[in-house]
Amino acid sequence: MNLIRLLKYKSGSFFVMIALLGIVNSLVYGSIMVFINNVIAGVGLPFIAAPQSWIYAGLLVVSFLLNKTFQTYIARLTNSIVFEYESGVIDKLRVSTFESFEKLGAQRVYTAIQDTRLLAQVPSNFVNAVNSVVIILCGLSYMFWLSWKAGAMILCFMGLLLAFYLLRNNSIEKQLNEVRDLQNDYHRYLRDFLNGFREIKMSLNRNNSIYDRYIKRTLQGSKELNDRTAVRYLVNELTGNYSWYIVLGLILFVMPQVLSIPTARVTAFVFTILYIMGPLATLISSVPFFTRLKIAVERIDGLEKEIDTYPQYNLEEQSIELSRDFTDLEFSNAVYEYKDAAGKKLFAAGPFNISIKKGEIIFVTGGNGSGKSTFINLLTGIYMPTQGSLRYNGEALVMNSYPHYSDRLSSIFTGVYLFNENYDGFDLDENNPVLQKYLAMMELQDVVRFDAQKKSIDNKLSMGQRKRLALIYALMENRDVMVLDEWAAEQDPHFRAYFYEQIIPVLKQMNKTVIAVTHDDKYYGQADRILHFDFGKVAKDVKLQHAKQPELVK
Ligand SMILES: Nc1ncnc2c1ncn2[C@@H]1O[C@H](COP(=O)(O)OP(=O)(O)OP(=O)(O)O)[C@@H](O)[C@H]1O
């Protein structure tokens, strides 16, 4: 979608406004040209008897007011487009499936959001461009009125110039697209560089490689492309500017001879060319902006269309009633298949036929790549089975039930992410006794810092401490089922033992259903049941009879 179609699409009155601006400005700019030429030549207006100075002043006022109205209109329009795009993309993403987000990649979303910012510069550029076009058209019409032959000559010359521009601009546009691709790659490497800074410090080879072969190479590539496009634009601009001196030369030296044009007319031609040279320069210099804008609009549009092709949940509709009181969860022939972009199967987990009952403490074990995380993604509703189904409290889940199903579980994933704001609206007041109890339970009471203003807790903690805080938040959610993916991996030996020997039994006493991925075989005895994974399947499903019931953590 190009800019004009986008503006038209977002505002039904766009063409009416453009037409109004064009007509009134044509009258104003055309009249000003005629006025000046008439005043220089000492003649009156052709059709009106009113004093010229009054009409001149009146035209200026009308033009000023109209331009102000139009600029305000277009500024509001583009601002609302920026708002709609940004909020629209985020709104669509939040109702998309997790797989869609994985396919799309966070980088593309960041780039598209940055692209929308370019739209904010549309108002001044667009109005200047419209006014420039109007002045050029008025100038051309005036020249035709003075002498149609001379007007036609100049028009042909301008046509040639335009063709030259469009041709060159096409190839520049291709180069700009290449620059954008390189920039996307560059941001990916930069993200790796910043997020993996510690790892980069640990290997000279990696350090040199990421810089020389990836970051510098893409930066160098886009610098060279930028250099080439800058030179091309420069040549375009210079050719454009100097061509007008050729036109002036034609008018001064060729036209009087060839077309026998009198000196007074020559003066009018020279004046008109000088009058439209400024607007032409404005138009030419705005070409790079509009080219970049076109690419940005196409990319934003492409992203939005791509998101639209992905399945989306209707968060309002809860297809089946999902009670907060959990009784059981059943996997029936549930399979999840990873496929590549061409649809080729990469890995399949399942089919799973598992029944999970309220109050069970289940440990999920297995080697690397055995499918534990894939199972956890299915269990938490992050993934929907590609075959088979899940039944919650006996009801088979359908597409729109998934967001509500996930909402019934508390989950802590391996690379837990703690938010900077208290989006959940937890009562994080320092004096909240429940919070204090949990902080003591997680041995965090002397570690956390409260932010009374934001009603949140500072998340600058070690990974192990972050996971403990995440467990506190999970408890505050007060849901029946808790899913913990390698929760204890980052805990020190003392807290790891404490987790399995104290916290797990407490959760059991609270009647929580816990499904925890673990490699800590020393503590397998704390579970009621062990699901052992191998090659994407449940190789063993063992029920244990000896879960301890120690004293509750006070
Ligand atoms: N997004 C993905 N696209 C394609 N294949 C994937 C994807 N995620 C995981 N896999 C594949 O699925 C298989 C199971 O991975 P999964 O992460 O479920 O194993 P895991 O048991 O959790 O391993 P680990 O203990 O190492 O975390 C692996 O072979 C992995 O390569």
Rounded to whole angstroms, the Cα distance separating 398 from 314 reads 11
Distance 536 CA to ligand 1 centre (A): 9
pLDDT tens readout for residues 129-176:
887 888 888 888 888 888 888 888 888 887 887 788 778 777 777 787
Q: How far is CA 182 from CA 56, 168, 196, 225, in A?
A: 53, 21, 21, 10
Tell me, what's the pLDDT at 552?
38
Rounded to whole angstroms, the Cα distance separating 274 from 252 reads 13
475 or 14: which leads in pLDDT: 475
Tell me, what's the pLDDT at 354?
94
Tell me, what's the pLDDT at 505?
92
What is the residue whose two structure tokens read 């797989």? 99
Tell me the best of 104, 345, 347 to mutate to test the pocket of ligand 1, counting ligand atoms within 8 Å of each CB and taking the most. 347
Q: Percent of the chain scored above 90 by pLDDT?
A: 22
In angstroms and rounded to an integer, the radius of gyration of the C-alpha atoms of the chain is 35
Tell me, what's the pLDDT at 485?
93
Distance 315 CA to ligand 1 centre (A): 28
Distance 358 CA to ligand 1 centre (A): 28
Q: Is the pLDDT of residue 514 over 90?
A: yes
Please state the atom number of ligand 1 nearest to the C-alpha of residue 377. Answer: 18
**Tokens found for residue 352:** 């799973």
Please, which pLDDT band fits residue 339 given cuts at 50, 70 and 90? confident
Tell me the best of 98, 373, 515 to mutate to test the pocket of ligand 1, counting ligand atoms within 8 Å of each CB and taking the most. 373
Distance 349 CA to ligand 1 centre (A): 9
Decide: 369 in ligand 1 pocket, CB within 6 A. yes
Tell me, what's the pLDDT at 297?
82
To which CATH superfamily is domain 328-543 assigned? P-loop containing nucleotide triphosphate hydrolases (3.40.50.300)
- Domains of the chain, residue spans: 1-147, 328-543
Q: Is the pLDDT of residue 554 over 70?
A: no
Q: How far is CA 247 from CA 158, 159, 275, 370, 400, in A?
A: 10, 13, 13, 76, 67
Range in 44-53, 173-182, 280-289, 459-468 the model is least confident about: 44-53
Q: How far is CA 11 from CA 73, 76, 83, 532, in A?
A: 10, 11, 14, 59
Please, which pLDDT band fits residue 47 given cuts at 50, 70 and 90? low
Q: Is the pLDDT of residue 546 over 70?
A: no
Please, which pLDDT band fits residue 531 given cuts at 50, 70 and 90? very high
Taking CA atoms only, the protein residue closest to ligand 1 atom 3 is: 338
Exposed, middle or buried by CB within 10 Å (0-12, 13-18, 19+), for 134?
Answer: buried
pLDDT tens readout for residues 283-318:
877 877 887 788 888 888 888 888 888 888 887 777
Identify which of 124, 170, 126, 166 has the alpha carbon closest to the alpha carbon of residue 7.
Answer: 126
Rounded to whole angstroms, the Cα distance separating 124 from 17 reads 15
Taking CA atoms only, the protein residue closest to ligand 1 atom 16 is: 371
Range in 16-30, 113-127, 228-242, 404-418 the model is least confident about: 16-30
Decide: 347 in ligand 1 pocket, CB within 6 A. yes
Give the CA dihedral 20, 23, 25, 27, nearest 10 degrees: -140
- 3-state SS, 342-368, equals CCCEEEEEEEEEEEEECCCEEEEEECC
Tell me, what's the pLDDT at 11?
64
Please, which pLDDT band fits residue 533 given cuts at 50, 70 and 90? very high
pLDDT, averaged across the chain: 83
Q: Is the pLDDT of residue 489 over 70?
A: yes
pLDDT tens readout for residues 66-116:
778 877 887 887 788 788 888 888 888 888 888 888 888 887 888 788 888
